[in-house]
Structure 1
Amino acid sequence: MRSDDHPTPGLKRRKRAGGAVALYWVARADIVATGFKPETVRLHYADTPADLPLVSAACQRFQAEMLAWSAGQKQDYTAFDGTIASLSRRFQIDEESPVAGWKYNTRRSQLHVVGTIEKAFGQRSLAALGLKDFRRWYEAAKAPKKPGGAERIDRACKIMKMLREMLRYGLAAELATEQCTRLLTILGATEFAGPRRRRSRLESHHVEAFIPKAIEAGRLSLALGTAIQFETGMRQKDVIGEWLPVPAGEGAEGFVLRGRRGKGWRRWANGLTWGDLGRDFVVSKETTKTGALVSHDLKLFPSIMALIETVPVAERIGPLIRDETAGRPYAEFAYARDWRVIARAAGIPDAVWNTDARAGAITEAEDAGADLDTIRGSVGHAQASTTARYSRGAIGKSKAIAAKRQAYRAGENKP
């Protein structure tokens, strides 16, 4: 992983237990010999083009600090100086930090938030911070990107949430314990307006309009993927899969994509395959988010089986959902992009997303009279409260209550 636009001085790769490859920044041996520390810094990034800018920035920063130390400034990266920047850097490289356990996609998005925090107010001392600072930062973060645009409340909330995460780490790692405790207490007692929950859901009439339009456009993959998502309530990722970094040193077996400029590889994983359907068309799959095992008998869904029957038996091999234009699983974001084209042709509002199929499935199930705990088990949620958040505008319980009240007024079921 190299690029003239993103130099990576001091970058080294090391194999870890199990054959995985980790990235490290390594100090020059001659400077280490004079007493510079640390000799190495673990970089919690993937060896991919997408993470190259982050890797480059980290390597250049550590390299500059090493050279400054060598020139007489004697900066020690491991020393905590009480600023947000030093807390941020320890948070990113410490093996005991929660960052070490983040999944690839989580790490990529969350470290972007960390970088925003460090860039915006990294030089501020923890001891000098207070409620007014947090309020000001929140207001600045949620401001529209352009005058007259929508407020970016979600962005502001993510920044405040990450600040809490970093401070909790600082407390656990015994870095400025008193200040971390003080600031966490302030944040815990402060409310920041959060983004409104999504209220949109994909409904059965949307799906019925979408499928023929997708077939007409030659996109059986979109029709089948949407039908499975809506009928089973499975997450988009669990149906179409995702692209994960191929560790350095491993072969490019399976379905792989080369990164930009020919750098790095990603391998398709976690999506449904024809083999998952088996002979009886019963799918049993561990979900990518919680690891819960969910099972669905596809024979119970005529819309799914009708689409499956259009695929010749000889072609039922490999990934279930393939991009017809590329001959492989959909690249990142391509599924949602192509889905929107068909959705507009089918008259589905832009406010309704493909990922709203899960909410549509859960809402319809509750309207049909299924209790939340049963629905929870079918979609793989750990808690019924999570399932309830996906139920958007269900009136099944309201109908049942209304019927009981009317019966009560008519003299039925009275004590």
Structure 2
Amino acid sequence: MLRLGRSIGQPVTALNLERESMHFSPALWDGSDPLYAPCTRQAKGLVYWQPPRKYRTAGYKVGNMRLPGRIGDGNDAERAQLARTYTIEMIRWSQAGDVSPISPGTWGWLMARYRSDDVSPFRDLKANTRDDYLFTLKRWEETISDVEIIETNLVELKTWQRSMQKNGRSVAYIKRMFTILRIVAGYGVALKAPGAKDVKDILGELRLKSPKARKISPTTDQIAAIILKADEAGDNAFALGLLMQWWLTLRAVDVRGQFLRMTADEAAKAKEEGGIVRGWFRWADGLTWSMVDREVKTLTKTPSKTEDSAPDTLVFDLCQVPEIRSRLLATPVEKRVGPIIVDRNGIPFDRFAWSDKFRAYRTAAEVPSDVWMMDTRAGAINDAKRAGATPILLQHAANHASLETTNRYIREQNDSIAQVIDLRRKG
């Protein structure tokens, strides 16, 4: 249930901003209480954000705002976040004596709608993807919240692009920023926001450089050397996880799992159902012992990235990879419960700890620093290609929906060119 909050105290001026902020919970600024919803009221199953009278008396022009959805729909945390956003903008207005950037028709308004509407495609994203989107949205909101969508044209967009380039932003950063802006503009089209369609069309024609594809992929010997150093350090869990990434061509997230942010209702449900929970995060997507048969001969897994489009599980014959099977068999039967890959405290690794370990053992193994954790899957695919696997076999092993996706993992073009010339000479 939303925790309502209203401000109290003297009229707001630029001089008493700090004092005024103290009348709200610290969660207004740090998000420590995801359900804290200041300046809200409930009526007939709906939730409204309402600026206090003293702000309206002081000249604040933004009126009552209905927050999306209805009470009991499981989206309290999202409504609370929007209420905090409106409240912060109101307080900042009181400091600057300016018009609130949450005015309808501005980018700030549309981005808030994209984040919070119960029909927004933002809600269909996985929790970790939502976090990545929020990071980028925040960057846009810091710079263009008060810009009218209808006033945004090619000149404005190119100015923003060149400003990022001038500030030394990478090609990948600029591409990501404008990709999110195009997605938000697309939602504006669905809302029939004035100017949104024109902006979306312009962004569709705007030519943005894409980051260069990675050309590095680890070899079997390099992966073996890293695993050896992990074993020497007594880090058997990491060694096993990397082996499974390599031989089963799995993404790291499908081996170690990941911690996903929960809404308040998801947190309550997780508490009832059990599982591994850290504050507002729950563990998901990793390998568990329930995926391994009793004889440790097969492992079934639905990759997290394709679980909606390809719901059938992949079946791996562990007898084909005795180095993996022997490590699994070394775990006592009574301990074959929950996640397979856990640290010494019995807790699954997060992505940062996993990458840190890879770098540490890579350095110990004297493997070049330009070999990254994220290259492991590409390395496995290229290793299979060198062994003679056909394109369709590579596609199936990587569990890609199209061969085009698999081709993006092929990083040994020069070797392929040399092989073709050799075949033609022999022919």
TM range (shorter): 0.7 to 0.9
Whole-angstrom CA distance in 2 between matches of 1:78 and 1:94: 15
8 Å CA contact retained: 1:143, 1:152: no
Distance 2:245 2:102 in 1: 48
- 1:3-402 equivalences under 5 Å are 3=26, 6=30, 8-10=36-38, 26-27=48-49, 37-41=64-68, 58-63=82-87, 80-81=104-105, 83-143=106-166, 151-176=169-194, 179-245=195-261, 247-250=266-269, 251=271, 254-258=274-278, 264-278=279-293, 279-291=295-307, 292=310, 293-324=313-344, 326-393=345-412, 398=417, 401-402=420-421
Q: CA deviation at 1:65?
A: 6.8
Alignment check: 8 A CA contact 2:82 2:116 kept: no
CA distance in structure 1 between the partners assigned to 2:315 and 2:39 by the alignment? 44
Unaligned runs of 5+ in 1: 15-23, 146-150, 259-263, 409-415
123-132 vs 189-198, greater mean Cα deviation: 123-132
What letter corresponds to residue 391 of structure 1 in structure 2? I
Paired residues of 2:253 and 2:286 also in contact (CA < 8 A): yes
Give distance in 2, aligned partners of 1:42 and 1:158: 29
Deviates more, 1:367-376 or 1:218-227: 367-376
Do the aligned partners of residues 327 and 199 (structure 1) sit closer, same or farther apart at CA in structure 2, a change above 3 Å counting? same
Cα 1:243–1:115 change in 2 (3 A) is: same
C-alpha separation between the residues in 2 aligned to 1:79 and 1:382? 43
Q: Please give the secondary structure, in 1, of the residue aligned with 2:268.
A: coil
Q: By how many angstroms is 1:207 displaced?
A: 1.4
Give the partner amino acid of 1:161: T
How far apart, CA to CA, are the structure 2 residues paired with 1:368 and 1:253?
45
Distance (Å, rounded) in 2 between the aligned partners of 1:340 and 1:275: 30
Q: What count of residue pairs does the alignment treat as equivalent? A: 371
Instruction: Assess if the C-alpha contact under 8 Å between 1:202 and 1:354 holds in 2.
Output: no
Deviation at 1:348, TM superposition (A): 1.9
What is the rounded CA distance, in whole Å, between the counterparts of 1:120 and 1:89 in structure 2?
A: 14
**How far 1:363 sits from its partner (Å)?**
0.9
Q: CA separation in 2, counterparts of 1:399 and 1:310? A: 44
Q: Residues 382-413 of structure 1, C-alpha deviation per residue, up to 9 Å, x if partnerless? A: 111111101111567546633541243xxxxx
Report the CA distance shift for 1:122/1:76 in structure 2 as closer, same or farther (over 3 A): closer
Displacement of 1:256 in angstroms is 2.9
Paired letter, 1:80: P
* Cα pair 1:38 1:78 within 8 Å, conserved: no
- CA distance 1:275–1:114, shift in 2 (3 Å): same
Q: Which moved more, 1:299-308 or 1:161-170?
A: 299-308
Going from structure 1 to structure 2, the CA distance change for 1:93 and 1:328 (only over 3 Å counts) comes to: closer
C-alpha change, 1:222 and 1:102, in structure 2 (3 Å) is same
Residue type matched to 1:269 in 2? Answer: A
When residues 368 and 134 of structure 1 are mapped into structure 2, their CA distance, relative to the original with a 3 A threshold, is same
Identical amino acids, percent of aligned pairs: 27
Alpha-carbon distance in structure 2 between the residues aligned to 1:88 and 1:137: 17
Deviation at 1:280, TM superposition (A): 4.4
Does the Cα contact within 8 Å between 1:231 and 1:361 map onto a contact in 2?
A: yes
Are the aligned partners of 2:68 and 2:79 in contact in 1 as well (CA < 8 Å)? no
Question: What residue identity is the alignment partner of 1:295?
Answer: V
CA deviation profile, 1:246-276 (whole Å, cap 9, x unmatched): 5242327645343xxxxx3432222112231
**How far apart, CA to CA, are the structure 1 residues paired with 2:38 and 2:132?**
25
CA distance, structure 1, for counterparts of residue 357 and residue 92 of structure 2: 50
How far the C-alpha of 1:109 sits from its partner, in A, is 0.9
Rounded to whole Å, the distance in 1 between the matches of 2:398 and 2:68 is 41
Deviates more, 1:113-122 or 1:328-337: 328-337
RMSD: 3.6
How far has the Cα of 1:206 moved from its partner? Answer: 1.0
* CA apart distance, 1:163: 1.2
Aligned to 2:9: none
- Change beyond 3 A, Cα 1:66–1:126: closer
Q: Partners in 2 of 1:67 and 1:240 — Cα distance?
A: 43
Partner-residue secondary structure (3-state), 1:235: coil
Aligned CA distance change for structure 1 residues 11 and 359 (closer, same or farther; 3 Å)? farther
